[in-house]
Amino acid sequence: MTDTYRRILLASRPHGLVDGANLTVDDTAAVPEPADGQALVKVQHLSIDPTIRTWMDDAPGYLPPIGIGEVVRSGGIGEVVASRSDALPVGTTVFGMLGWQEYALADGAEGAMTVVPPGIEPAVVLGVLGVTGMTAYFGLKDIGQPRPGDTVVVSGAAGATGSVVGQLARIEGAGTVVGIAGSDDKCTWLVDELGFDHAVNYRTEDVAARIRATCPDGIDVYFDNVGGDILDACLANLAMRARVVLCGAISQYNEDRPVGPRNYLQLIIKRARMEGFLILDYLDRFPAAQLEMAGWVMEGRIHHREHVVEGLDRAGEALNLLFSGGNTGKVVVTV
Amino acid sequence: MTDTYRRILLASRPHGLVDGANLTVDDTAAVPEPADGQALVKVQHLSIDPTIRTWMDDAPGYLPPIGIGEVVRSGGIGEVVASRSDALPVGTTVFGMLGWQEYALADGAEGAMTVVPPGIEPAVVLGVLGVTGMTAYFGLKDIGQPRPGDTVVVSGAAGATGSVVGQLARIEGAGTVVGIAGSDDKCTWLVDELGFDHAVNYRTEDVAARIRATCPDGIDVYFDNVGGDILDACLANLAMRARVVLCGAISQYNEDRPVGPRNYLQLIIKRARMEGFLILDYLDRFPAAQLEMAGWVMEGRIHHREHVVEGLDRAGEALNLLFSGGNTGKVVVTV
């Protein structure tokens, strides 16, 4: 163990994509010693999620903004390397809000760190069984409430959450599953490997026209990860009593002034609803959902892919991939 | 009975407010003769509602647009003056889609015309017991679902629907009822006569700041009649799991390109939903609701006010009042 460790600190708040000036690499702090009840975790993999970008803004959100000079908040997986906690002995693998750093202290408080059982790949823990997979599970089932035969559309469909949403919709008995993604390769993956019925490349195709063509009876459940024009294109094609699941708005997080959905009055004409949710509210239901998801992964009914970026110093670059669409599946940084 | 009758036809589609060029007064057509099963209705009072303006646009809606050269579609009350229908004998007062004209044919089909019992003022039939009152009733109760103690906010609060929403919220046990309206006189009426706790004049006050001050725990139910900046101000002040009832968007109906709610991502942070509805879906529940509302009117728990415009030729001017905010309560045209 070295005496000091590397951390990525928020130096200034980004406008748009994160650039080098927004982050400081600091390797001057001493590796902390666990106090009584605490464990020291060596961070191995970081979960790179769009929500991290929202925490960098000085705006009211569901968690406080990351302070200037603080370690960038992030989920991750690591191994306990020193411990004064009976709950977290040395050698335990844990998942929790470890942050963009080489070491983190876990205090053993309930909910703060989850023990990861042996034999599960880190990428699966962070992806399908992690926050992104759970977001797909509860957002689709609890908020979208698909019924057998429904037409389900998801944007950001080749991302960690979207790719699971489409496959879950199939498992739930959806009649038609359509994904919206940003490249032909992604669209091919969605249809050929994940079993989507159709995929729309929003960079090259007229999204509203393609949704109209592939969803002739309208959209029953639209799971929105992106906001902006794609949300409007889907609002223009809702079925009666449709459910629009607001998961995120990746097209808007880098904008100083977000644009609202111009077609929101379609919610009146279609007697439809648009509802937001946060995965934080479902933590107590994770174990049962993870068990179900793990079963589907083992049966080959849920496929997943990871986009691995090597090196803590590249975490900012990895975050930007989510906004440029450079990733397919879950973005993970190996520390 | 004259041989010809007066009708207001849509001559061209308005941009913004209706002007004289959009409407044609026609008095060349012969008064129709009722065929077997039909009745001839002499139109007495017209219900002037914001939704009429949306029917003048050539845009997909919940009903087809009014065709160029057609009579302007409108609810109204009239009296049967000639009949070949057993269901609608001469002397019967009926409510239905009579249109902006002196005479209309009723064919006695179920749902097309409702017989109005004697002894109820026309203004009450068109207002509190009519479509605007029923819109308040089902929108608030079914979509807003207020619980005792909730904070309920309504925009367009001095209008025919908004004024009933606030009073119904009080009857349902709301803790705080706040109305947003466009003049000090309207605000005084809301608080002093209708029992609202607070009223905000959106023309002279900072709506977001006043909502923050009057709703310290946030808005549980927001009933939106207006859209635009006021919707955004309310979205910025939602309580957790709030319900936003989308009833209309009077600030947007005259715009060629509507603006969406920039603050819609608050629905995620507050785990809230925004839901639209159309009163057409509730027609079979009108009788029970009208009975309940009539009771509250007689007990003095629901107050109402009408803004009467005299003369069929002034129907267009009456419609514009809704958008300029020139009315308090229900706008009625006497023919």
B161 within domain boundaries = yes
B245 within domain boundaries = yes
**pLDDT tens digit sequence for A234-243:** 999 999 999 9
**Model confidence band, residue A113 (pLDDT cutoffs 50, 70, 90):** confident
The shortest CB-CB distance from A260 to any of B62, B262, B281 is to: B262
Contacts A–B by Cβ distance under 8 A: 97
Assembly ipTM: 0.88
**What is the pLDDT at residue B249?**
87
pLDDT at residue A326 greater than cutoff 80:
yes
Does A255 contact chain B (CB < 8 Å)?
no
| Residues A109 and A155 reside in one and the same domain | no
| Residues A102 and A114 reside in one and the same domain | yes
Is the Cβ pair B276, A263 closer than 8 Å? no
Is the Cβ pair B271, A277 closer than 8 Å? yes
Is the Cβ pair A262, B260 closer than 8 Å? yes
Choose between B193 and B108: higher pLDDT.
Answer: B193
Among the ranges given (A173-177, B5-9, B288-292), the one the predictor scored with the smallest mean pLDDT: B288-292
Average pLDDT over residues A52-77: 92
Q: How far apart are CA A330 and CA A333, in angstroms?
A: 10
Choose between B118 and B297: higher pLDDT.
Answer: B297
Chain A's closest residue to B252, CA to CA, is A265
The DSSP annotation for B148-186 comes to TT-EEEEESTTBHHHHHHHHHHHHTT-SEEEEEESSHHH
Beta bridge partners of A152: A177, A221
B135 within domain boundaries = yes
Q: Structure tokens of A119? A: 């034999």
Q: How far apart are CA B232 and CA A261, in angstroms?
A: 12
| Residues B232 and B204 reside in one and the same domain | yes
**What is the pLDDT at residue B109?**
63
Is the Cβ pair A276, B268 closer than 8 Å? yes
**What is the pLDDT at residue A111?**
54
The CATH number assigned to the domain holding B143 equals 3.40.50.720
Is the Cβ pair A275, B270 closer than 8 Å? no
pLDDT at residue B172 greater than cutoff 70:
yes
B1 within domain boundaries = no
**Model confidence band, residue B2 (pLDDT cutoffs 50, 70, 90):** low
| Residue A187, helix vs strand vs coil | helix
Pick from A51-60, A131-140, A251-260, B115-124 the range whose average pLDDT is largest. A131-140
B239 within domain boundaries = yes
Average pLDDT over residues A20-30: 95
H runs (alpha helix) in B215-265: 228-235
pLDDT at residue A2 greater than cutoff 70:
no
| Residue A273, helix vs strand vs coil | strand
Top residue of B275, B281, B283 to mutate, by most chain A CBs within 10 Å, is: B275
| Residues A266 and A145 reside in one and the same domain | yes
Is the Cβ pair A276, B270 closer than 8 Å? yes
Does B272 contact chain A (CB < 8 Å)?
yes
Domain count, chain B: 2
Domain of residue B188, residue span: 131-279
Is the Cβ pair A264, B269 closer than 8 Å? no
Is the Cβ pair A62, B268 closer than 8 Å? yes
| Residues A51 and A30 reside in one and the same domain | yes
* Distance, first Cα to last Cα, chain A: 15
Does B269 contact chain A (CB < 8 Å)?
yes
Q: What residues of chain B lie within 8 A of the CB of A62, using their CB?
A: 268-269
* Distance, first Cα to last Cα, chain B: 15
| Residues A153 and A265 reside in one and the same domain | yes
B195: closest CA of chain A, how far (Å)? 29
Average pLDDT over residues B37-53: 94
Q: What residues of chain A lie within 8 A of the CB of B257, using their CB?
A: 262
Is the Cβ pair A260, B258 closer than 8 Å? no
**What is the pLDDT at residue A120?**
84
**pLDDT tens digit sequence for A228-286:** 999 999 999 999 999 999 998 888 877 777 889 999 999 999 999 999 999 989 988 98
Is the Cβ pair A265, B277 closer than 8 Å? no
Question: Are B146 and B172 within 8 A, CB to CB?
Answer: yes
Q: CA-based Rg of chain B, rounded to a whole angstrom?
A: 20
Q: Structure tokens of A173? A: 């008995």
Question: Are B230 and B155 within 8 A, CB to CB?
Answer: yes
Question: Are B141 and B119 within 8 A, CB to CB?
Answer: no
Is the Cβ pair A274, B267 closer than 8 Å? yes
Whole-number average pLDDT of chain A: 93
pLDDT at residue A325 greater than cutoff 90:
no
| Residues B160 and B120 reside in one and the same domain | no
| Residues B54 and B120 reside in one and the same domain | yes
| Residues B192 and B73 reside in one and the same domain | no
**What is the pLDDT at residue B108?**
62
A1 within domain boundaries = no
Question: Are B290 and B312 within 8 A, CB to CB?
Answer: no
Beta strands in B4-48 (DSSP E): 7-10, 23-26, 39-48
Top residue of A271, A277, A281, A283 to mutate, by most chain B CBs within 10 Å, is: A271
The CATH number assigned to the domain holding A62 equals 3.90.180.10
Is the Cβ pair A272, B276 closer than 8 Å? yes
Q: What residues of chain A lie within 8 A of the CB of B265, using their CB?
A: 227, 246, 249, 252, 258, 276
Q: Structure tokens of B146? A: 């207020």
**What is the pLDDT at residue B121?**
86
**What is the pLDDT at residue A108?**
62
Is the Cβ pair B274, A268 closer than 8 Å? no
Does A218 contact chain B (CB < 8 Å)?
no
Among the ranges given (A83-97, A194-208, A233-247), the one the predictor scored with the smallest mean pLDDT: A83-97
Q: What residues of chain A lie within 8 A of the CB of B237, using their CB?
A: none
B229 within domain boundaries = yes
Chain A's closest residue to B269, CA to CA, is A62
Question: Are B41 and B99 within 8 A, CB to CB?
Answer: no
**Model confidence band, residue A109 (pLDDT cutoffs 50, 70, 90):** low
**Model confidence band, residue A307 (pLDDT cutoffs 50, 70, 90):** very high
Kindly report the CA angle at B97 between B94 and B102, in degrees rounded to 5?
75
B285 within domain boundaries = no
